[in-house]
Amino acid sequence: MGPLSSHFIFPEWLELLTAFLIGTGFGFSLEQAGFSSSRKLAGMFYGYDTTVIKVFFTAAIVALTGSQIMSYLGWLNLNQVYVNEFYLSASVIGGVIMGAGFIMGGFCPGTGICALSIGKIDAMVFVAGGLAGAFLFAETYPLIQNLADANYKGPVKINESLGLSPGLFTFLLVAVAAIMFRIAETAEKKFAQPAITDEV
């Protein structure tokens, strides 16, 4: 039956209300996880706080397994759910630029918006920088359009490119995540920075 948007034409107010409520749940979850703190987020890259990987992979696995179960039960038609288009060059280069921004700013866009909502001034400045970055992209778009569109592969699924069924790939991903969670817990003890973790 789902996604509901494939069966009904939502009036604009209802679509925007749904977006707002989804965003509210998103912001609430991020803040409860502690993602309103840049020093907690940055801990991921120095080992003293690995909340990022725990929350990120748990969320991905819940949504991935949940959507496959819903699809199996006939509640969600996965063919109607958007699958990201794969532009190989743009994904890699864009990702590298984003990683640099992450370690400089201490936030990603979602966590930055979440952190500004509780009064973090550094997050307000980060999001202002984000608006500037979006503007810079729009103004330089003619120069990098070729790069943005290079090596287009379509909405490729990772399990298909590996020749695995969605179920088997999901199972392997859960196993990998379990190992990463163990490593993360060990790293937090090894690289502990009590002065930072007590404060954030």
Partner 1 sequence: MKKKYMNPYMAGTMLGIVLLAAMFFAGRGLGASGGIKYCMVSAVGAIDNQHAMDSVYYSKYFEDGKKPVKSWLAFEIFGIVAGGFISGAVSKRLKFRIEKSPKISNSRRLVFAFLGGVFFVYGAQLARGCTSGAALSGMAVLSLAGFVTMAAIFGSAYAFAWFFRKNWI
**Contacts with partner 1 in 103-132 (CB under 8 A)?**
103-123, 125-132
**Contacts with partner 1 in 69-98 (CB under 8 A)?**
70, 75-76, 78, 80-88, 90-98
Identity of the residue, 58 or 186, whose beta carbon is nearer to partner 1 in the bound complex:
58
170 with 64: CB under 8 angstroms?
yes
CA-to-CA distance for 173 and 162, rounded, in angstroms?
13
Task: State the nearest-atom distance from the C-beta of 193 to partner 1, in Å.
Answer: 6
Number of residues that bind partner 1 (CB under 8 A): 130
Task: State the nearest-atom distance from the C-beta of 30 to partner 1, in Å.
Answer: 7
Q: Should residue 167 be labelled a site residue for partner 1 when binding is judged by CB under 8 A?
A: no
Task: State the nearest-atom distance from the C-beta of 179 to partner 1, in Å.
Answer: 15
Task: State the nearest-atom distance from the C-beta of 192 to partner 1, in Å.
Answer: 11
**Contacts with partner 1 in 171-190 (CB under 8 A)?**
none
For 2, phi and psi rounded to 5 degrees? -80, 165
**Contacts with partner 1 in 23-62 (CB under 8 A)?**
23-34, 36-40, 42-46, 48, 51, 54-62
For 82, phi and psi rounded to 5 degrees? -60, 130
Q: How crowded is the C-beta side of 35, counted as CA atoms within 13 Å?
A: 23
Task: State the nearest-atom distance from the C-beta of 190 to partner 1, in Å.
Answer: 14
In DSSP notation, 32-49 reads: HHTTT-HHHHHHHHHSS-
142 cis-preceded (ω within 30 degrees of 0): no
Q: Which residue in 19, 194, 25, 15 sits closest to 114, CA to CA? A: 25
